[in-house]
Structure 1
Amino acid sequence: MEPVDANVTNAANAERRRLAAAGGVVALLSLTVTLTACGGSGGSGGTEPEAGAWTTGDLHVHTVQSDDSRTTQTLDFVLGKAFTTHGLDWMAVTNHLRSSKYDNDAHLLPAPVAFAYGMASYEMPRVKALQAAGSYTGKLIFSGFEWDTPTHDHIGIGIFEGGSTLVSSASAMKEFQYVFTNGDESLFQADDLARWKAKYNQRANATAADALKGIAWLKDNYPDTSYAVINHPSRNPGKYTIADFRQMNDLAPKIVFAIEGMVGNQMEPNRGGYTSAYTDANKPNRTYGGTDYVVAQLGGVWDALLGEGRRIWNVADSDSHFEIDAAGNSSGYYPGEYAKNYVWQPKGSTGVAGLLDSLRAGRGFGVFGDLINALDFTATAGGGKATMGQELVTGAGQTVTVTIRFKSPAVNNYQRPVNSGNLGNMVPKVHHVDLIAGDVGPKAAPGTPAYDLATNPSTRVLKRFTSADWTLGADGYYSVTTTLPASRSQYFRLRGTNLAEDVPGLSAGGEPLADQPVNTADNATRHDQINDRNYGSLWFYSNPIFVSVK
């Protein structure tokens, strides 16, 4: 079986572009896509193709119910952009866990309420009603929130309840908001306040220890049906250390399993909204090709975590608040327009539970600007096979064969002018793909110097593949294979870009350089320059394959 081509037909794409130009919410475009793919075998044995499908989605999206969004960003508008215009398969609506001042349609409420109440009263019923009426059939839409984590930056959280069919838990989110945020008590209902005050001695919303208490609460109450994604981790200096990541993952590895490395807010003058002063001291607080330093730095924080065998994955999100407002401010692309998560879901994997299993298993890759829309990355040895997020166990001295197959769409969503609906007919083209390797050793122990170590010196670009190395098949997939001896336990991950190895201001020696701000005074000119900057530096990152030598 071939890897799935996640693009639909050219006609369907043309229709999506027409809808994008029209803007707003229109009738659902019905699309039927046959999804068959080779997703890996489960890691340790057998090379038979796995039945299943690639899906695309976004875990970080805001509507008007977030206080830093805009009134044009209604729930219906965002859903139309995500599913009708840009064809996502699933999406989490994740407004700030602060207060709701509006309903879904941007009508002011009589008085603000805690966001979890607004979510329960407006967001969740509207999604349910739309789908019951036949809109977004086959799409998975659920509610989460973005937590102002005490002493840290934001964490995206989902909490679910139910048996075989999981749904977002409004009651859990209300309780979490009371205990772990500093929202005024007037935002909460009196009967809830009375119950929670009897249950908790005090609220936990001020210290780093309180942040861990919040994660522990998820583990104690929703150990299998919650997640906590660390959003834009380096946006502000001093918010996280690698010890924080280790501690959170140690506390709840089934919940804290992902970092938003490929951040949203890409239409900001400072890419990703990373606005710290451009000084050498703040180099870790920049984006590099739109990607947070935690993931973008070769041999840095992510590699240090993977080098302990930690199952901590990278995700790509839009962080959509609005694209361009009436005052000429710009923020980010719409869901599915620029950033996509591709997540493999095995046959029989359905609903929130199936998606959560696949996210937790690291079965995916992230991409900007549709640089690629299909990726088959596998390692085989001795009859065993593994793909992204999996582990291949083999004996010392055996030959490991690594196969990379990828495909790009005919055109991406680049528009000129930006947000005009006029496609610039940009053909995304991969210049090179890096096969990155790092050694895997024991986990660092709390209280040891290794727990604070934020580098993995063994990490290196093992192979760099260009068009001179890969072949183009009749199916439109570029393929390259390499072999290496299994001499020690390692992980392998992929990074690809449309940039040449040395592009002034963008890359040096194949490594991404810090993104520079765009501060042109004229609004329209600045918007196009930002958009050109973003589409001129496209990247994809795969999750790793672990190869354990026994």
Structure 2
Amino acid sequence: MTTDRRRFLKGAGLAAAAAGAPLPAPSESFDVSRLCGRYQWLVGDHHTHSQYSYDAMYRIDQIARGGRAHGADWIVFTDHGHAEHEKVSVEPTEADFLAARRKYPDLLLWHGMEWNVPGAEHATVFFQAGRDQAAKLREFERAFDWRLTNSEASSPANEALALRALRWLAAEEQAKRIHAPVVLINHPLRNGRIAPHELRAYRDAAPNIVIGMEGAPGAQADGFPKPLGNGGARGGYANSAGPNSWPGFPAEAYRSYGGWDWATAKVGGLWDSLLAEGKPWWITTNSDSHYNRGDTLVRPQVADDWYDTHGKFPDPVDTGSPQLLAPYADFYPGEFSRTYVGVTRRSLEGVLEGLRAGRVWGVHGGLVQSLEVGAYGGGAAATLGGRLRVRRGSDVTLVVSARLAARPHGGGSVPRLARLDVVAGPVTGAVTDPDTMTAPGTKVAESFEPRWAPGRQVVFRHTFRNVRSPFYARVRGSNGTSEPTPDVIGQANPFEDLWMYANPIFVDVC
């Protein structure tokens, strides 16, 4: 790596940028928010499970309390779609959810569900419907969940049912029977069951509702080495192609890379192929909390058919002993995986607005305390998820500001950001093959190696000179200096391989 690629940029100034002139190199005191807008960055989690899921144990208020203790500002409760859940669990979940809201008024909470997507796998679905929340969730689950509609298999008919579900959400929002529905695809390539053409079809069917996917799955503690050598894999990514998998995915797509989905981690891969179309397709991270590593709570022993009879497990009991073996593969919201959303106001509406706008970045293990990214050129500026419009031949500068970690993470050490990358690629428009999953023009444009000191703010910039056509740029960071590598099944301590990914900024050229 050349000295130029390692440089730490110094200097400051914004008046020149407002006039369209070159901006001096930023210093450690450079305030990127003056360039790209002032936002409050709230930590959240859109994928959690309670005792109302057939494979989890926590009370709703315990998830909220655990998230709050680990710095979460917003949480979505997403119990699995299931016949018994639809039959008896929706109203009790709503009652417990409302009680948690009263108990923790400082938290922003939603009652959603994890949808078994017809012809595919799982997705977070949440919206607001006031007093009709439980009824509307039940209506959706009954009509469109593959566990209730016998529509699990990958087939054109089942894919069409998934699209009808998305159009139902859009129609219900238009009729004002529900408000602000959001869908995020969960652990997209864990089983390879959501083909590239399905992702595109989802987005096209409901572009303001289906906003993206988990860039990294939950269950990050599943890769910890186990005493008997029978460890799992980060995010549960230890699979291979099955009968419902899309046959075009290579074997490596079924593994996680530094805890992140192959679709996200591969430069010029599936995520980039969507961005290269100019599609606003955002990534998140989450806990997928079922059983959280190190917790002292355990689920009481019950008969095998307990959930099928009751639609709920008994409250967990405290043993006083930390649980480290399977199935304790998860973390609490905010404990390891954090999704930051830039908001203009601390409210449900503020978080929804930020999510839909793509003002989102995700990080594991507290690799950085804060991140701001802005791009400017031609007298205008934009931040994560935004679009910057410039004249052909302009220079566009990307500015990245990160606050380095100052506190130990759950692994006991202070994480060290070793590298920041600017990844960029051309926006080439709609693809002719909807199963496209490569973007050959996307590359790492520049890498920076911050001089590390706990709590320090580092600021870098990269300038794209004489831009001639539209493109996008995004930022990632790591505690290592190599490209993401596959996590070793059963030998993947999540605290040893940490990554941060931010959503893109698009640049339109006229």
Shorter-chain TM-score tier:
0.7 to 0.9
Q: Cα offset for 1:39?
A: 7.3
Distance 1:58 1:253 in 2: 21
Which residue does 1:77 correspond to in 2?
62
Which residue does 1:260 correspond to in 2?
214
Aligned residue runs from structure 1 range 355-434, under 5 A: 355-415=351-411, 424=412, 426-434=413-421
Q: Cα offset for 1:482?
A: 2.4
Which residue does 1:59 correspond to in 2?
46
Is 1:455 aligned to 2:423, yes or no?
Answer: no
- Give 3-state SS (helix, strand or coil) of 1:433's partner: strand
Q: Which stretch has the larger CA shift, 123-132 or 392-401?
A: 123-132
Distance 2:159 2:233 in 1: 28
Residue 262 of structure 1 contacts residue 291 of structure 1 at CA under 8 Å; is this kept in 2?
yes
Task: Give the counterpart of 2:113 among 124, 136, 145.
Answer: 145
Which residue does 2:269 correspond to in 1?
300
Letter in 1 for 2:504: P
Residue 160 of structure 1 contacts residue 222 of structure 1 at CA under 8 Å; is this kept in 2?
no
Is 1:181 aligned to 2:145, yes or no?
Answer: yes
Which residue does 1:120 correspond to in 2?
91
- Give 3-state SS (helix, strand or coil) of 2:164's partner: helix
Distance 1:217 1:205 in 2: 19
Distance 1:174 1:427 in 2: 45
Letter in 1 for 2:401: R
Which residue does 2:489 correspond to in 1?
517
Aligned residue runs from structure 1 range 28-427, under 5 A: 50-70=37-57, 73-83=58-68, 85-99=69-83, 112-114=84-86, 117-121=88-92, 123-132=93-102, 135-161=103-129, 169-181=133-145, 207-223=158-174, 225-237=180-192, 239-268=193-222, 269-277=232-240, 281-324=250-293, 328-329=325-326, 330-346=328-344, 349-415=345-411, 424=412, 426-427=413-414
**TM-score by structure 1 length?**
0.73
Q: Cα offset for 1:399?
A: 1.5
Is 1:476 aligned to 2:434, yes or no?
Answer: no
Task: Give the counterpart of 1:496 among 453, 477, 482.
Answer: 477
Residue 119 of structure 2 contacts residue 152 of structure 2 at CA under 8 Å; is this kept in 1?
no
Which residue does 1:22 correspond to in 2?
none
- Give 3-state SS (helix, strand or coil) of 1:95's partner: coil
Distance 1:438 1:357 in 2: 26
Identity %: 31
Distance 1:278 1:251 in 2: 27
- Give 3-state SS (helix, strand or coil) of 2:78's partner: strand
Matched pairs, number: 429
Structure-2 change in CA distance of 1:381 and 1:125 (3 Å): same
- Give 3-state SS (helix, strand or coil) of 1:378's partner: strand
Structure-2 change in CA distance of 1:38 and 1:357 (3 Å): farther
Gapped regions of structure 1 (runs ≥ 5)? 3-36, 41-46, 100-111, 185-201, 416-423, 502-510, 519-528
1:334-384 deviations in Å (ceiling 9; x for gaps): 1111000010001xx353222111101000100000101211111111211
Letter in 1 for 2:391: G
Residue 257 of structure 1 contacts residue 360 of structure 1 at CA under 8 Å; is this kept in 2?
yes
Letter in 2 for 1:458: G
Quote the RMSD (CA, aligned, Å): 2.6
**TM-score by structure 2 length?**
0.79
- Give 3-state SS (helix, strand or coil) of 1:225's partner: strand
1:438-471 deviations in Å (ceiling 9; x for gaps): 1002223xxx33x222110100000011136xx9
Letter in 2 for 1:274: Y
Distance 1:277 1:138 in 2: 42
Structure-2 change in CA distance of 1:38 and 1:220 (3 Å): farther
Distance 1:143 1:130 in 2: 11
Distance 1:544 1:429 in 2: 24
Distance 1:467 1:182 in 2: 48
